[in-house]
Structure 1
Amino acid sequence: MDKYHSLDLSKISKELMLLLEIIKVEQDDNIGVSLKKEWYSDFDWDLFLQLAIHHRVYPIIYSKIKRLEEKRIPSYVFQTLNKEYKQNTFKMLHLSGEMELVSKLFNENQVNLIFLKGPVIAAELFGDISLRTSKDLDMLIPITSLEKAEILLQSIGYVKEVVPNVLNEWKWRNHHVVFFHPQKKIQLEIHWRLQPRPLKEPIFNELWDRKRISNITSYPVYFLGKEDLFLYLVSHGARHGWFRLRWLLDIEQMLRKGIDIKKTKGLIKKYQNSHLVGQALILALELFRTPIRELNNLTEGKDSKKLAQNAVDFIQGTESLAIIMSSKYYKRYLFSLNSRKEKFFYILILFYPSYLDAKTLKLPKPLHFSYFPLRPFLWAWRKARKLK
C-alpha cells in the first residue's frame, strides 16, 4: 500500500490488516485466492472478532467469508459472526419499522423530518439493510419544531434524556437531543444541526430542498441528497476520528457508486471542509484502495494528510468513544478540524457557562448571568481540585 500515499500503517495489527483485506475483496472475486495463507499464521482470532465487532463491519465480513471454502478460519469465528449478522438483521428490520412509524407521525403533524443514517443509508449504500449496523435512528428537523417533536415522541412512549442545562447552554454545546423507548428499546437522536457548533453547514431548508425518498418503506421516508449525505458522513467520521471503519466504509461505497463531482466541489468550497474531505479520501484510498478519480486533488493538502495520519491512531485501537473523547490527544485533534474562523468561535463557546459551573457554585436562577464572568475562575477551581 506504500505506492498510494505516505500514511504510516506500521502499527496496524495483523488482525486489523486481515479485516481490511477481506473488506477490499470484490464480491465477484474468489476470496480464497485473494487472501494469502501467510495472513493466517500466528493469528489471534479473538482479537479479529473483537475488531470486527468494534468497527461494526461484521455484516460485511460475514457476507464475504461465508463464501470461503478453505478451512483456514476457525468454526467459532464463523458462528460468532453469523450470530451477530442475524441479530443485526433483526435490529435493522425493527429500526426500519420504527423509522416508518415516526416519519408518518411527524408528517401528519406538519413536522419536516430528514433521516440522516440508519436503514435508509444501509439500503442506499449497500443495497441491503443487513449489511450495515445502526445503534439508533438519527433524524434532522428544524430547531423551531423541537418542542413539537418532543410532544409527538412522548405521545408514543418515548422518554427524553435529561441533560443538565444552564442559560440554554444546550443550544450552543449540543446539536441533538436523545429519546429512548423503554419497551421497544429504541433510541432516537433528534438533530437540529448536522454537526456541533462551530462547524459550518447548510441550513435545514437547503437540505430539505435536496432531500430524497427512500424506497425501503411503504410510507415516504426522506433522507439527505447524495452530495449532502457524502459531506455529512465525512464531517461525522472526521469528528469521531474515524475510530470505526464502518463510517469510512460508507464513504468508500459512495465513492464507488459515484457522486456529482461539480455539485460536491461547490458544496465543499461553500462550507470550507476540503481538508476533511481530503482526510476521508486519503484514508479510503490507503485502507480500501477506493478509486478517487476527479476528487484526487483534494488528497494533496498537508492538513488532509496530517489529519489522515492522526485518524490511523484512532482506527487501530479498540477503545470506546467515551475513552477516546476524554483524551487530550483527541481534543487537540478535534480542535484541528476547525478552520481559523471556526477555531475563534470554538474558543468563544468555551467561555459560555455550563452545568458544571452551576454544580461548582450554586446560584439562584436570577443570578445565573453571573456565571459568565465567573466561568474562568470556576474552571480553574475544578482543575485545581483534580490535581490535589
Structure 2
Amino acid sequence: MLPIGPEADLLRRAALWPSGKIEITADQIDTLDRRLLLELAHEHRLLPPLFGAIEASGLAALWPELRAAQQRESMRALHQAAVTLRLLDRFEQAGCRALVLKGQALSAQLYGRADVRMSSDIDFLIDPAMMSRAHEIIVESGFKPFFPVSVENLSFVNKDQAYFSGKIMIELHWRLFDNQAFLPWSFEYLWSNRSFVSLMESKKVPTLPRDQHIFYHTLHGLRHGWQRLRWLVDLTIPFQNENDMKNLFSLAKEYNFVPAFLHTSILLQEFFPNIPRNKN
C-alpha cells in the first residue's frame, strides 16, 4: 500500500487529519523527499489532510509547492461540487431519483466537511427504472460515455457507465456491484432511508444512509485490495465509534462478511496503532 520510508510514515500519520493531530517539525520537512511525498499524497488521495496537518503545525510557508497543489485541489473540488449540484437539479427536474455515492458525500458524512476526501470522479446511484433518462441528461450536459453501448445493454454485465468532459469524470450506477446478489439492497430501500449532507454552504444532497454507506465503502476497499490509503483512513472514524461499529458488524453478520470485517479491523490497528479503539 505504501513504500517503506520517512515520506510514507509522515503521510500515514498526517492522513488522520482533521480527526487526529500529529507533531511535525521543520527539520522533518527539510529532510523529506518532498516530490515523492506529494506523489504519494496524490496517489492515495491524501493531499488535503497532508496540507491540513502541515498547516496546523505552522509549517505551510516552508512548502509553497504543497500549498499550490492544495489550492488547485480546492478549486477542482469546488468545480466538482458545482457539477454534482447541477446534475442533481437536472435529474430532479426529470423525475430521476439519484443518490450521491462516495467522494464528497462520504467526506461530509464522516468528517462534517466535503473537502477532506479527494475524488477523481462523481458517482451517482440512479433509480434503475430511470437509467436511460439519466444517461440522456448526462450526455445533454456535455459528457461523453466511455462504453459505446446503450445503458440497457450495459446493465446486463456492468454496474455503471462512465462519462468524461475535460477533467471531470462521472460514474452513473444502477446498482452498487456488478453482481446484485453481492449486496442486495434495492434502490427503494436506500432511497427511503437516505441521508442528506452539505456539499456547498447550505446545498444539501441525498446520499446513502450512514451505516450502509460505510459498509459499502468497506466492501469497495476490500474488493480493490485497499489500493488507496484514503479508503482505509476513512474507516478510522467509525472504528472509534461504538454505535458505528455495532451497526457495521450487525450488517456484516446479516450479509456474511464478518471475516472480512475482522480482517479490516486488524489492518486498521496495524496501520494506525495510536488511534483510540472502541473496545466493545
TM-score between both structures, scaled by the size of structure 2: 0.84
The answer to whether 1:12 aligns with 2:4 is yes
Whether the 8 Å contact between 1:55 and 1:246 is mirrored in structure 2 is yes
Paired residues of 1:285 and 1:291 also in contact (CA < 8 A): no
> Which structure shows the bigger proportion of residues in helix conformation?
1
Q: 8 Å contact 1:227–1:260 — kept in the other structure? A: yes
Map 1:158-197 to 2 at 5 A. Answer: 158-163=143-148, 168=153, 170-182=154-166, 185-197=167-179
For 1:216, what is the secondary structure of its paired residue? strand
For 1:343-358, what aligned pairs fall within 5 Å after superposition?
A: none
Where 1:173 maps in the other structure, the secondary structure is coil
Structure 1 residues 48, 269: CA separation in 2 closer, same or farther (over 3 Å shift)?
same
Residue matched to 2:43? 54
Paired residue type of 2:213: L
The AA in structure 1 aligned to 2:126 is I
Deviation at 1:238, TM superposition (A): 1.1
Matched, 1:224 2:214: no
Equivalent residue, structure 1, for 2:121: 136
2:17–2:49 contact (8 Å) kept in structure 1: no
Structure 1 counterpart SS, 2:56: coil
Give the 3 Å change call, closer, same or farther, for CA 102–274 of structure 1 in structure 2.
same
Structure 2: state its 5+ residue gaps: none
Output the CA distance in 1 between the equivalents of 2:102 and 2:20.
27
Q: 1:164 & 1:153 partners in 2: Cα distance?
A: 15
Deviates more, 1:40-49 or 1:111-120: 40-49
Task: State the AA in 2 paired with 1:241.
Answer: G
C-alpha separation in 1, matches of 2:204 and 2:108: 15
- Measure the CA separation in 2 of the matches of 1:180 and 1:283: 35
Deviations 1:301-352 (A, max 9, x none): xxxxxxxxxxxxxxxxxxxxxxxxxxxxxxxxxxxxxxxxxxxxxxxxxxxx
Counterpart of 1:210? 193
Task: Specify the SS of the correspondent of 2:147.
Answer: coil
1:154, 1:22 → 2: CA distance? 39
| Matched position secondary structure for 1:66 | helix
Between the aligned partners of 2:144 and 2:20, the Cα distance in structure 1 is 46
**Alignment equivalent of 2:86, drawn from 83, 101, 118:** 101
Counterpart in 2 of 1:63?
A: 52
Partner residue of 1:88 out of 61, 66, 73? 73
- For residue 31 of structure 1, the aligned residue among 15, 23, 33 is 23
Q: Highest Rg: 1 or 2?
A: 1
The AA in structure 2 aligned to 1:105 is R
Distance (Å, rounded) in 1 between the aligned partners of 2:8 and 2:20? 23
Task: Say whether 1:21 aligns with 2:4.
Answer: no
Give, in whole Å, the separation in 2 of the partners of 1:99 and 1:201. Answer: 26
AA at the equivalent of 2:173: H
Map of 1:263 onto structure 2: 247
Check whether the contact 2:100–2:124 (CA below 8 A) recurs between aligned residues: yes
Change in 2 beyond 3 A, CA 1:151/1:24: closer
Q: TM-score, normalised by structure 1?
A: 0.63
Q: Distance in 2 between matches of 1:26 and 1:261?
A: 20
CA distance in 1, matches of 2:11, 2:52: 13
Letter aligned with residue 239 of structure 2: L
More strand by share: 2
1:107/1:66 Cα in 2 relative to 1: closer, same or farther (>3 Å)?
same
- Tell me how far apart the structure 1 counterparts of residues 162 and 219 of structure 2 sit (CA, whole Å): 20
RMSD, aligned CA: 3.1
Change (3 A) 1:105 1:26: closer
- How far apart are the structure 2 equivalents of 1:227 and 1:240? 20
Q: 1:24 to 1:146 in 2, by over 3 A?
A: closer
- State the Cα deviation string for residues 188-208 of structure 1 (Å, max 9, x = none): 101111122262332212211
| Structure 1: segments with no counterpart, 5+ residues | 1-8, 296-388
Q: Alpha carbons of 1:248 and 1:144: their partners in 2 closer, same or farther (altered >3 Å)?
A: same
SS of corresponding position for 1:31: coil
Partner-residue secondary structure (3-state), 2:139: helix
Shift of 1:51: 1.2
* Structure 2: distance between partners of 1:147 and 1:25: 40
Q: How far 1:123 sits from its partner (Å)?
A: 2.2
Q: In the alignment, is the contact (CA less than 8 A) between 1:119 and 1:129 conserved in 2?
A: yes
Q: Is the 8 A contact 1:31 1:65 kept in 2?
A: no
Map 1:260-339 → 2, pairs under 5 A: 260-289=244-273, 290-293=275-278
Distance 2:16 2:125 in 1: 32
Counterpart among 141, 146, 159 of residue 131 in structure 2: 146
Between the two proteins, the alignment pairs up a number of residues equal to: 276
Do the aligned partners of residues 90 and 260 (structure 1) sit closer, same or farther apart at CA in structure 2, a change above 3 Å counting? Answer: same
User: Following the alignment from structure 2 to structure 1, what is the Cα–Cα distance between the partners of residues 188 and 128?
Assistant: 11
